[in-house]
Amino acid sequence: MPIYNPPIRDLQFVLHDVLKLSQSDLPGHDDLDPEFTEAILEAAGKLSSEVLAPLNLPGDQQGCMLENGVVRTPDGFGKAFEAVKEGGWTALDCDPEYGGQGMPYTMGVATGEMFVSANMAFNMYQGLTHGAYSAIHAHGTDDQKQTYLPKMVSCDWTGTMNLTEPHCGTDLGMLRTKAEPQDDGSYLITGQKIFISAGDHDLAENVIHLVLAKAPGGGEGTKGISLFIVPKFLVNEDGSLGERNGVSVGALEHKMGIHANATCVMNYDGAKGWLLGDLHKGMRAMFTMMNEARIGVGLQGYAGAVPAYQNAVAYAKDRLQGRSVTGAKNPSGPADPLIVHPDIRRSLMDQKSFLEGARALSLWGAHLIDRSHLGNDADAEGLISLMTPVIKGFLTDKGFEATVLAQQVFGGHGYVEEWGMSQFVRDARITMIYEGANGVQALDLVGRKLAQDGGKHVMAFFAMIKTFCKDNAQNEAIATDFIAPLKAASKDLQTAAMFFMERGMKNPNDALSGSYDFMHLFGHVTLGFMWARMAVAAQSGLDTGTGDADFLKTKLATGRYYMKRQLPMTATHLARIQSGAETVMELDQEAF
Amino acid sequence: MPIYNPPIRDLQFVLHDVLKLSQSDLPGHDDLDPEFTEAILEAAGKLSSEVLAPLNLPGDQQGCMLENGVVRTPDGFGKAFEAVKEGGWTALDCDPEYGGQGMPYTMGVATGEMFVSANMAFNMYQGLTHGAYSAIHAHGTDDQKQTYLPKMVSCDWTGTMNLTEPHCGTDLGMLRTKAEPQDDGSYLITGQKIFISAGDHDLAENVIHLVLAKAPGGGEGTKGISLFIVPKFLVNEDGSLGERNGVSVGALEHKMGIHANATCVMNYDGAKGWLLGDLHKGMRAMFTMMNEARIGVGLQGYAGAVPAYQNAVAYAKDRLQGRSVTGAKNPSGPADPLIVHPDIRRSLMDQKSFLEGARALSLWGAHLIDRSHLGNDADAEGLISLMTPVIKGFLTDKGFEATVLAQQVFGGHGYVEEWGMSQFVRDARITMIYEGANGVQALDLVGRKLAQDGGKHVMAFFAMIKTFCKDNAQNEAIATDFIAPLKAASKDLQTAAMFFMERGMKNPNDALSGSYDFMHLFGHVTLGFMWARMAVAAQSGLDTGTGDADFLKTKLATGRYYMKRQLPMTATHLARIQSGAETVMELDQEAF
């Protein structure tokens, strides 16, 4: 059975030494001192490692079952879901008006990392609910909020997002699901949706579907789309559950991974639905969910790789194979542990330096969202809007790579399902696909976000890096190892952005042919920035003698690895970008 | 159901336009004119696409079953295996003295690519047999050859390699399986072997296991190891099958992929075995199999990605989603096909430019083996010895990446098993692990092969590239796009090799920390070399008006893509290598 150790100390380091959470002037943040957050993280960690993690491998092997139209989750999921609810974890960062605890989103992400690491498929039942909660919270009427939110905050009812249809995913303008207005103000929804995560299950009394559909009069394409609330069971005036609505599970998908999450074909046969937000403005409302979901998937991307790394480390320390090239390190044993071998170290350091950087990025992103929402900070909102596709695309691509690296440490044992390493890889693979495949994230970044508000946000990003570098230029312990490579990498990113501006006007394909590399280039620069910030914090701790010196020294060494061995990727991405569209677009379709 | 189109034209291009197979002075090669090889490839392609490929997805879903100690292969495998045998495909490049057709190994690889692409798990039953055939052919007594080879050439009997034990894989010096000498010259073999591919099944009358074990008097470590022939059924004097030997299947592994190949735990309980080759020199004999197997796994690495690419292309042409940024390309339809989008192109070109380069490398490698074996060419032998870890490690890593790219083109549909894209990824994953995990290949390359024979072979490799560049420096159509980037990449490789020589003496960890990057750097340079050779051949065809102009122009465009968008990776690999061991080895074990 794979292990999972909640990374409390590292989460605390990012929250307090780097982000300085409790020193923020945002509402409610002054309570969040290190002792308080540690207590929260410890409790979430305990639940994750003791209750959720042990269900991960069995959940993968058992999967979900569709029996007489009802989805059954794997053994133990029901009890674990109750434990999560009872602990109040589903309500952590929700609005107190509807039963939430009102903590910042940053804390939701910090605890969420551990829930995802422990059991990604399980956590999705709650995660989708949170997205639906946010959409209703932002766009619902008072009545809708009163009806749905308290039950969704507690996860007595769970939520879903219904976008994809068999013939369209990214291009939602083509969707065919219809909404017919009724005299009572409701709509009848008819159509088929596919790939609906947590579409049905036995963990909750009701499932609240948010469904994109076309109501009459909206015109062609995405303009005609509206968003509807379609509950599995209709809700009576008094809040009790009424009759079954006209929505049913057509089939369960057989997937590469996340077997324990029910991915459903949902059939809407004149199901009763209610408009959420404005008519024909469903895409806007849906994007409230999508943006949150994308940050959440970025979180999944690296969080899923955390236990993979931990198990690889444990195996590398335990498995005796070969001798160190510099002399036996375990002379009394039949061989040395794998971890003495440089190439095993290279793999573990690639994982470790990515995962810790990703954790910082994810929490920084969450903190930007808090600044945007709680502090009405428009700059923070612009920055996180720019960063969202980077967080989603880069963290999931590299997170998947990290699981593959971790699996590789096990040799043949990594390929056998009983060790659990295959599951980490198979589960991680979906994060690159759903909530907008990573190519779509790259398109969003280069085609939309770069030029948003006149390019203001990307310029603010560069200014922020520049200021940081200037502020720390005299910090001798940091300047050579961190500031210099960050500057160089940031220059590559600026050069790429300039290339897009100059060439993209004339030939948009010149920009879009480099969009994927740009997303990765941006990701590396951002992780380099995170590492430089962590290095400043760690060095400061060492200089002042506060904190665990071993931990801080390890942090600095891990950061140096990232700067030396990962950041040089920016040069290759830039070279690919600068080659433009010519070789990408040259061939006729028939030549492929 | 996934499609598979045998790439006959491309195989022919490499065999004749690039390698100029029939112009070689090697024995038997003058028969191999383009018409003859086309007939062979067409026949193998037909069998692959019509018989083997349709069994691939069902074979994955059904898998193998262990029933009362007997392994059952999936439905249809038995009949298909008979078709492969009847076609003489198992005998293609085997010695005519034992019923083989005596064709060069290059033709075995050219046809083998298609068999692997069509059904990797199925092809392994034959592939392992070929490896065992080679070991017995090279090291067996006349009597052993007469007894086993004819039946193995026809695949009436299949073969296996038994190396790994529960506690050791790479480090075979620790193995515990014992061989006790008997008065009749045989040995009794006792121990447990794991991960035995094709260890048992219902496709053949007998299974001939080649088993590494320790016989008395050999000393510690690998020096004490010998190789034994252990048939499942003992063979009578007259060649008929006798009683069941003391070897049995303990269990079938549940794996991430290649479900249709039986991966067995094999228990040897005093099974009768016969020494193959010299006593206590089993590692040498086993390496005859291993080297061939590594080239074969490199072949699997890219061949498995060929159908993944083909299906991604078909989907990208068929699936309508979004509009081209430069104006609708399918104005009468509801949307444009995916293939109009630059980022989809980027993905397909990454796949295509890798796969065609890999095909050339694989066939060139096979041709080096033919030159070594049939032509007693020591230089060719040295070169293929150097290249073997590159072919195995680089082609499997990049082949796996290619399957992931192909899967991604399908969006959510790629994650659902019924489309078959998940299987391509899951199957490809094993190639990075077995026959020596890729980290072990990198160690072999840097720790052993680079310095072999005083570094003679790597110097010969550089000299070959240099001569090629000089010879084509005046070829205007080629010089800028191909020769210049090849030179630059080759310089990166030389700089890295020099770094290892200078630093590796003092601190071997400086070399080994960069071994994995060096393997990839080497792979990129070699593929760049392959592309430059293909470009010269294609340009020559265009200049002389021979060959299909569209095909040759596509070849050149695809090559330019590789040079512009893949080869720049060498700079990043070099930067990683030059950072040395410091950040790799700095942390204490406890800090991970």
A243-269 pLDDT, tens digit per residue, is 999 999 999 999 999 999 999 999 999
Smallest CA–CA distance from B429 into chain A, residue: A415
Distance of alpha carbon A490 from the chain centroid: 24
The minimal CB distance from A322 to the residues B171, B352, B585 is found for: B171
Smallest CA–CA distance from B350 into chain A, residue: A584
Which residues from B are below 8 Å from A404, CB to CB? 400, 429
CA-nearest of B400, B408, B320 to A516 is B408
In contact, B312 and B347? CB cutoff 8 Å: yes
Which residues from B are below 8 Å from A429, CB to CB? 404, 407, 415, 425
pLDDT-derived band at B54 (thresholds 50, 70, 90) equals very high
B565 and A571 in contact by Cβ < 8 A? no
A412 and B425 in contact by Cβ < 8 A? no
CA-nearest of A281, A278, A265 to A164 is A265
Q: What is the pLDDT of residue A284?
A: 86
Q: At A162, which helix (H) or strand (E)?
A: strand A157-162
Three-class secondary structure of residue B167 per DSSP: coil
User: What are the CA-CA distances from residue B354 to residues A141, B94, B306, B398 (Å)?
Assistant: 54, 30, 10, 8
* CB-count exposure of residue B495 (10 Å: 0-12, 13-18, 19+): middle
The minimal CB distance from B509 to the residues A325, A516, A584 is found for: A325
B571 and A568 in contact by Cβ < 8 A? yes
* CB-count exposure of residue A25 (10 Å: 0-12, 13-18, 19+): exposed
Distance of alpha carbon A491 from the chain centroid: 27
- CA atoms of B77 and B58, how far apart (whole Å): 10
User: What are the CA-CA distances from residue B374 to residues A179, A195, B145, B370 (Å)?
Assistant: 73, 56, 20, 5
Give me the residue spans of the domains in chain B.
Answer: 8-140, 158-280, 456-585
Q: What is the pLDDT of residue A505?
A: 83
At A112-124, the pLDDT tens digits run 999 999 999 999 9
Rg (CA), chain B: 24
Q: Where does B33-104 have alpha helices with state H? A: 34-47, 56-62, 77-86
A408 and B433 in contact by Cβ < 8 A? yes
Mean pLDDT across chain A, nearest whole number? Answer: 96
Give yes or no for residue A479 having a pLDDT over 90: yes
In contact, B81 and B147? CB cutoff 8 Å: no
Please tell me the distance in Å from A183's CA to the nearest CA on chain B.
33
CB atoms closer than 10 angstroms to residue A318: 10
Which residues from B are below 8 Å from A345, CB to CB? 513, 584-585, 587
At B461-486, the pLDDT tens digits run 999 999 999 999 999 989 999 999 99
CA-nearest of B185, B186, B167 to B177 is B167
B346 and A584 in contact by Cβ < 8 A? yes
Q: What is the pLDDT of residue B438?
A: 98
At A517-551, the pLDDT tens digits run 999 999 999 999 999 999 999 999 999 999 999 99
Three-class secondary structure of residue B226 per DSSP: strand
The minimal CB distance from A576 to the residues B173, B322, B565 is found for: B565
Local structure of residue B482 (DSSP, 8 states)? I
pLDDT-derived band at A223 (thresholds 50, 70, 90) equals confident
- CA atoms of A269 and A192, how far apart (whole Å): 9
Active site residues of B: 435
Instruction: Give CATH for domain B8-140.
Output: 1.10.540.10
The minimal CB distance from B587 to the residues A169, A170, A554 is found for: A554
> Helix A305-318 and helix A105-118: axis angle, to 10°?
50
Please tell me the distance in Å from A422's CA to the nearest CA on chain B.
6
Smallest CA–CA distance from A432 into chain B, residue: B408
User: What architecture is the B158-280 domain classified under in CATH?
Assistant: Beta Barrel (2.40)
Q: Which two tokens stand for residue B385?
A: 């010895």
Q: Which two tokens stand for residue A264?
A: 């459903």
Three-class secondary structure of residue B395 per DSSP: helix
A558 and B587 in contact by Cβ < 8 A? yes
User: What are the CA-CA distances from residue A220 to residues A194, A282, A414 (Å)?
Assistant: 22, 13, 50
Q: What is the pLDDT of residue B439?
A: 98
CA-nearest of A183, A153, A504, A565 to A357 is A565
A326 and B509 in contact by Cβ < 8 A? yes
pLDDT-derived band at A361 (thresholds 50, 70, 90) equals very high
Give yes or no for residue A290 having a pLDDT over 90: no
Give the angle A215-A220-A221 at the CA atoms, nearest 5°.
Answer: 95
Q: What is the pLDDT of residue B98?
A: 98
Smallest CA–CA distance from B581 into chain A, residue: A342
Q: What is the pLDDT of residue B401?
A: 98
Give yes or no for residue B286 having a pLDDT over 90: no
At B337-391, the pLDDT tens digits run 999 999 999 999 999 999 999 999 999 999 999 999 999 999 999 999 999 999 9
CA-nearest of A538, A447, A531 to A489 is A531
- CA atoms of B448 and B183, how far apart (whole Å): 40
Three-class secondary structure of residue B1 per DSSP: coil
Please tell me the distance in Å from A370's CA to the nearest CA on chain B.
31
Smallest CA–CA distance from A174 into chain B, residue: B334
Q: What is the pLDDT of residue B287?
A: 82
Active site residues of A: 435
Mean pLDDT across chain B, nearest whole number? Answer: 96
Three-class secondary structure of residue B416 per DSSP: strand
The minimal CB distance from A415 to the residues B339, B429, B443 is found for: B429
Which residues from A are below 8 Å from B317, CB to CB? 589, 592
At B111-153, the pLDDT tens digits run 999 999 999 999 999 999 999 999 999 999 999 999 999 999 9
pTM over 0.90: yes
DSSP states of B274-325 as a string? EEESSTT-HHHHHHHHHHHHHHHHHHHHHHTHHHHHHHHHHHHHH-B-S--T
Burial B387-425 (b: 16+ CB within 10 A, else e): bbbbbbbbbbbbbbbbbbbbbbbbbbbbbbbebbbbbbb
Q: What is the pLDDT of residue A498?
A: 96
pLDDT-derived band at B219 (thresholds 50, 70, 90) equals confident
- CA atoms of A230 and A212, how far apart (whole Å): 10
Give me the mean pLDDT over the A152-177 stretch. Answer: 95
CB atoms closer than 10 angstroms to residue A167: 16
Q: Which two tokens stand for residue B31?
A: 């028969």
CB atoms closer than 10 angstroms to residue B217: 9
In contact, B456 and B521? CB cutoff 8 Å: no
ipTM above 0.95, yes or no: yes
Q: What is the pLDDT of residue A30?
A: 87
Distance of alpha carbon B186 from the chain centroid: 34
Give the angle B374-B377-B382 at the CA atoms, nearest 5°.
Answer: 120
- CA atoms of A261 and A199, how far apart (whole Å): 9
Q: What is the pLDDT of residue A78?
A: 98
Q: Where does A7-119 have alpha helices with state H? A: 8-12, 34-47, 56-62, 77-86, 105-118
- CA atoms of A183 and A160, how far apart (whole Å): 26
Give yes or no for residue B289 having a pLDDT over 80: no
Which residues from A are below 8 Å from B347, CB to CB? 439, 516
Q: Phi/psi at A545 (nearest 5 deg)? A: 70, 20
Give yes or no for residue A288 having a pLDDT over 80: no
pLDDT-derived band at A289 (thresholds 50, 70, 90) equals confident
Rg (CA), chain A: 24
A255 and B417 in contact by Cβ < 8 A? yes
Q: At B106, which helix (H) or strand (E)?
A: helix B105-118
Tell the residue number behind the tokens 């092997």, with chain if given.
A61
Q: Which two tokens stand for residue B502?
A: 């200078």
Q: What is the pLDDT of residue A291?
A: 82
Q: What is the pLDDT of residue B481?
A: 97
Which residues from B are below 8 Å from A557, CB to CB? 583, 586-587, 591
In contact, B527 and B562? CB cutoff 8 Å: yes
Q: At B558, which helix (H) or strand (E)?
A: helix B549-565
Which residues from B are below 8 Å from A422, CB to CB? 255-256
- CA atoms of B443 and B445, how far apart (whole Å): 5
Burial A46-64 (b: 16+ CB within 10 A, else e): ebbbebbbbbbbebbebbb
B-interface mutation test, from A9, A61, A165, A171, most B Cβ less than 10 A away: A171
